[in-house]
Structure 1
Amino acid sequence: MKILLHGAMMSIPHAASTPEEQAEVLRACQGDTEAFDRLVARYYRRVYTLCLSLLEDPDEAEEATQEAFWRAYRNLKRYDPSRSFRTWLLSIAAHHAIDRLRRRRARAPWSEALPAETLTPEEHLLAQEERERIRRLVGQLPPLERALILLRYWEGASYREMAQALRLSESAVKSRLFRARRALAQAYRAELATLEEPSHA
């Protein structure tokens, strides 16, 4: 998955489900608690990272992670096997984290840096600065828009999955995502313009 922002293409990988993983999910849906425990072990770090990136508080992120897995377990019978289990689980976590943000009315920045790319030594420094700039600009978005960017471009969620997770219509998801990308692009251009202004002695 890639984000194109003002000509800068940022690669963001997301893993596809394996047949073994799909079989594990099926066993969990059929009531195998040990299979679900293995899914928890497989995804715990990823869910925690998502919660931390939204909440910016390790203790609260830990609580949100536990709650996300509990909600997933209680709703296993509602899981649609045609959907990605990973995306479904992360959608539950994102929605719960956003609810927490709304309750405390905070606007915490996104703390997770984008993954490193394979670049030449000459390109690495500029790419690192670019990732940091985009990370910081994403962190300035409101929680819902931040979650939309995270789910769409980090986890590869479909519009339908995002709509279900965030309790929005697909058209609302698309329009909010468009506005979030537009805000990012405007902030990006404004920052570049500031950097390019000539200094006066």
Structure 2
Amino acid sequence: MEELNLIEKAKQGNKGALNTLFVENYPILKGYIIKMTGNPDLSQDIVQETLLKAAMNIKKFNPKAKFSTWLITIGTNVYRDMLRKNKQVIPIDDAMIAEGNSVEDEVISKIEYKEILNILQKMSYEKRSVFILKHYYSYKYEEIAEILGCPIGTVRSRLHNCIRDIIRELERRGII
């Protein structure tokens, strides 16, 4: 309920409410973008552009989903646009592991975590984004489909193929 109140105030021009929304959702957005790009410096640029776009378009936000979902959607689009413009995939940066101070770091060993991130970085952003949204952020298939602008069947297919490819690569590397 508090988030809806902040959103309404932000839509009315309350900068403090907008700032609170950004501060509360920044860790989720930053973690997602770091996992997508594998590069903390590039991630910071994407996060800043995402927040700028969100601030400029706050009046268009329809709170049928969480504010963090909206930010992740914008961030995904900013990253997608960057990939289209640059026609390149940014290699994973080892510094990313140091920045990923979250629960998954405690659950998954550093080696497995790093291996999975390395494998993910070699996949298309479509597969990578579905995997990260589902397994790191526990979004439902419907929410992922909305964020990425694709059918639920496509989300399921991408996730299935991504997991299959990760398992094959981990087996090839002798990790599992």
Q: Please state which band the TM-score falls in when normalised by the shorter chain.
A: 0.7 to 0.9
Query: How much is the aligned-residue C-alpha RMSD, in angstroms?
Result: 2.7
User: How far off its partner does 1:45 sit?
Assistant: 4.1
Per the normalisation by structure 2, the TM-score is: 0.77
Distance (Å, rounded) in 2 between the aligned partners of 1:50 and 1:107: 16
Match in the other structure for 1:106: 88
- Is the CA contact 2:33–2:75 (under 8 Å) kept in the aligned structure 1? yes
- What is the percentage of aligned positions where both structures have the same residue? 23
Match in the other structure for 1:93: 75
Residue 62 (structure 1) aligned to one of 44, 48, 51: 44
Distance (Å, rounded) in 2 between the aligned partners of 1:146 and 1:21: 29
Residue 180 (structure 1) aligned to one of 143, 146, 162: 162
SS at match of 2:106: coil
Question: Which 5+ residue runs of structure 1 have no aligned equivalent?
Answer: 1-18, 119-123, 197-201
Residue 52 (structure 1) aligned to one of 34, 45, 50: 34
Distance change in 2, residues 1:117/1:52 (3 Å): closer
- Is the CA contact 1:163–1:173 (under 8 Å) kept in the aligned structure 2? yes
Deviations 1:30-75, CA, capped at 9 Å, x for gaps: 4423211222223334423433333344454333222212322344
Distance (Å, rounded) in 1 between the aligned partners of 2:170 and 2:82: 28
Match in the other structure for 1:144: 126
Distance (Å, rounded) in 2 between the aligned partners of 1:42 and 1:52: 17
Larger radius of gyration: 1
Residue 83 (structure 1) aligned to one of 61, 65, 68: 65
Deviations 1:76-108, CA, capped at 9 Å, x for gaps: 344342312212211221221122123212222
Match in the other structure for 1:43: 25
Which structure shows the higher helix fraction? Answer: 2
Distance change in 2, residues 1:117/1:66 (3 Å): closer
